[in-house]
């Protein structure tokens, strides 16, 4: 029993672990270097940095989309499944909203009964029930972003990788998103969130990785980031951001 419990604890000690020595589009031209991070169950980690700092490259490396990588990325958790929410919505032109959800569910082996119940609940939560059989290409950017979020929540992954989720969302949709995200954290999922909305990140993130010029310049809790930045103990995350970049 003791050994089995120890194995289970090791399996759930992280939902994402990345040790990236270097990564880039060209073999001898690294965009990011020495990026090391670990997201635990129930942890929301903020990935922040100025434009061009390497956040998108880090996300792409974690997802296995960069052509030249030295390092290792591991997805943990019960199912070892991740969901990605891109900054720019991606959808099929001739699929309705409902068909997008059904396709995602079928790919991940979600049963029909589980799918319909969960999908209807999420559509209601994001107030898209009336658009159920409409085409996302006709939606506003905010509604398309909601589609991306609904697909992610439908899958109930071990780790969410979210890129600028607040872009295009109105205040109510943002509140819905954060409420659902809190429920997923309580379930034991982890979140790696790349965002420029530092005041919101400061309120909701447990830990941070701040990247500048392709490398980590500060990492840990807000208190640890303040120490790295040489900021006062009550300094805002935005102050630390300015000091470090």
Per-residue pLDDT for 17 more than 60?
yes
Worst-scoring range by mean pLDDT, 7-16, 60-69, 215-224, 233-242? Answer: 7-16
Please tell me whether residue 115 adopts helix, strand or coil conformation: helix
241 C-beta neighbours (distance < 10 Å), count:
24
The residue-averaged pLDDT of 41-53 equals: 95
Q: Percentage of the chain with pLDDT > 90?
A: 86
How sure is the predictor about 7, in pLDDT bands with cuts at 50, 70 and 90? Answer: very low
Rama region for 188: left / alpha / beta (φ>0; ψ in -120 to 50; rest): left
- Residues in Cβ contact with 128 at an 8 Å cutoff, skipping those fewer than 6 apart: 97, 143, 146, 147, 150
Q: CA 89 to CA 149: how far, in whole Å?
A: 10
DSSP 26: B
The residue-averaged pLDDT of 194-221 equals: 95
Q: What is the pTM of this model?
A: 0.91
Domains of the chain as residue ranges with CATH: 11-81+159-169+190-245 (3.40.50.300)
How sure is the predictor about 167, in pLDDT bands with cuts at 50, 70 and 90? Answer: confident
- Both tokens assigned to 126: 């994001």
Element (H, E) at 211: strand 207-212
For 89-120, write each residue's pLDDT tens digit: 999 999 999 999 999 999 988 998 899 999 99
For 113-151, write each residue's pLDDT tens digit: 899 999 999 999 999 999 999 999 999 999 999 999 999
Q: CA 205 to CA 223: how far, in whole Å?
A: 12
Q: Report yes or no: 91 and 127 within 8 Å, Cβ to Cβ.
A: no
Q: CA 134 to CA 56: how far, in whole Å?
A: 31
How sure is the predictor about 168, in pLDDT bands with cuts at 50, 70 and 90? Answer: confident
The residue-averaged pLDDT of 17-46 equals: 96
Per-residue pLDDT for 6 more than 90?
no
Rama region for 168: left / alpha / beta (φ>0; ψ in -120 to 50; rest): left
The rounded mean pLDDT for the chain is 92
For 219-244, write each residue's pLDDT tens digit: 999 999 999 999 999 999 999 999 99
């Amino acid at each position: 029993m003791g050994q089995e419990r120890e194995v289970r604890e090791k399996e759930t000690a992280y939902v994402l672990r990345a040790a990236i020595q270097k990564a880039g589009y060209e073999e001898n031209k690294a965009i990011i270097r020495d990026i090391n991070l670990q997201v635990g169950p129930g942890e929301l980690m903020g990935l922040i940095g100025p434009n061009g700092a390497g956040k998108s490259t880090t996300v792409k490396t974690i997802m296995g989309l960069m052509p030249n990588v030295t390092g290792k990325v591991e997805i943990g958790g019960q199912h070892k499944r991740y969901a990605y929410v891109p900054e720019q919505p991606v959808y099929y032109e001739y699929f309705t909203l409902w068909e997008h959800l059904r396709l995602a569910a079928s790919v991940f082996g979600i049963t029909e009964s589980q799918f319909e119940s969960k999908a209807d609940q999420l559509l209601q939560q994001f107030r898209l029930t009336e658009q159920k059989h409409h085409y996302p290409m006709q939606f506003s950017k905010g509604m398309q972003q909601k589609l991306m979020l609904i697909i992610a929540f439908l899958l109930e992954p071990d780790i969410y990788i979210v890129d600028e989720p607040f872009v295009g969302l109105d205040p109510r949709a943002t509140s819905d998103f954060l409420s659902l995200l809190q429920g997923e954290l309580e379930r034991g999922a982890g979140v790696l969130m790349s965002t420029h909305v530092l005041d919101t990140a400061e309120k909701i993130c447990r830990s941070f990785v701040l990247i500048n010029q392709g490398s980590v310049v500060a990492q840990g809790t807000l208190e640890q980031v303040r120490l790295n930045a040489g900021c006062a103990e009550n300094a805002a995350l935005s102050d630390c951001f300015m000091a470090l970049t």
